């Protein structure tokens, strides 16, 4: 499916995800480095770049969405935001460099989930957080078909097997939930 900005930034979706409030909820603050995997139109990347003056990575595979984010980044003068094309589980980010790595409605579509989680662990700092937002596993209009959705329990099972532990859990409206993990110490 080809995603457009209009699809990703509906009023209802923005009201449900409440990007700035959600970022603050997971502890993201000024000075931190943020990595948004599958950034889409930058729903979380742009608020992160407004919260923190440090580097914000917006990783995306869709050229149209990359073009949209590049234009918006220029208009807003966000020089500390790096928009990068990705098309594999290999992230173009240095080891131990990110305070928060986020995936919004991405994990359910990844074939090699464990490989991606291991790669995320590589780029996270020791006190870093992995934040996952996914669609509830129920039949609804928004989001992927039911057979692709993951329950919070399914997500926890995969992430915890990669040496993460759940830190926070929150329902984000009718369509989504959030799970925040930290690396096990």
**pLDDT 10s digits, 51-97:** 999 999 999 999 999 999 999 999 999 999 999 999 878 899 999 99
First vs last Cα of the chain: how many Å apart? 39
Whether 159 is in a domain gets the answer yes
- What is the residue range of 119's domain? 32-183
d(CA 163, CA 120): 12
10-17 long-range contacts, CB within 8 A, separation 24+: 13/43, 13/142, 13/175, 14/43, 15/173, 16/172, 16/173, 16/174, 16/175, 16/176, 17/43, 17/44, 17/104, 17/133, 17/172, 17/173, 17/176
Residue 146's pLDDT band (boundaries 50, 70, 90)? confident
Q: Band of the pLDDT at 44, cuts 50, 70, 90? A: very high
Percent of the chain with pLDDT over 90: 78
Q: Count of domains in the chain?
A: 1
Looking from the CA of 11 toward its CB, the CA atoms found within 13 Å total 0
Q: What is the pTM of this model?
A: 0.93
Q: 76 in a domain, yes or no?
A: yes
Tens digit of each residue's pLDDT (9 = 90 or more) over 127-142 = 999 999 999 998 877 7
pLDDT at 19 over 60: yes
Bridge partners, 81 (sequence order): 56
DSSP 3-state assignment of 148? Answer: helix
Residue 123 lies in a domain: yes
The DSSP-derived string for 41-56 is TTTTHHHHHHH-SS-E
CB atoms within 10 A of CB 21: 10
> What is the CATH number for 166?
3.40.50.150
Measured at the CA of 80, the angle between CA 164 and CA 97, to 5 degrees, comes to 30
Residue 23 included in any domain: no
Residue 6: band (very low, low, confident or very high) from pLDDT cuts 50, 70, 90: low
Encoding tokens for residue 152?
Answer: 């919070």
At residue 130, the pLDDT reads: 98
């Amino acid at each position: 499916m080809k995603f457009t900005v209009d699809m990703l930034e509906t009023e209802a979706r923005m009201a449900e995800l409440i990007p700035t409030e959600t970022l603050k909820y997971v502890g993201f603050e000024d000075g931190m480095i943020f990595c948004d995997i599958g950034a889409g139109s930058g729903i979380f990347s742009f608020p992160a770049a407004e919260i923190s003056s440090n580097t914000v990575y917006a990783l995306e595979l869709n050229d149209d969405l990359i073009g949209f984010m590049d234009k918006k980044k220029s208009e807003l003068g966000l020089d500390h935001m790096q928009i990068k094309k990705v098309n594999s589980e290999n992230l173009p980010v240095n080891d131990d460099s990110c305070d928060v790595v986020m995936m919004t409605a991405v994990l359910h579509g990844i074939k090699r989930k464990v490989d991606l989680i291991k790669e995320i662990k590589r780029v996270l700092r020791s006190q870093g957080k992995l934040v996952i937002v996914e669609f509830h596993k129920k039949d609804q209009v928004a989001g992927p078909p039911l057979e692709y959705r993951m329950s919070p329990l399914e997500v926890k099972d995969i992430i915890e097997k990669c040496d993460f532990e759940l830190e926070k859990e929150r329902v984000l409206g009718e369509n989504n939930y959030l799970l925040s993990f930290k690396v096990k110490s």
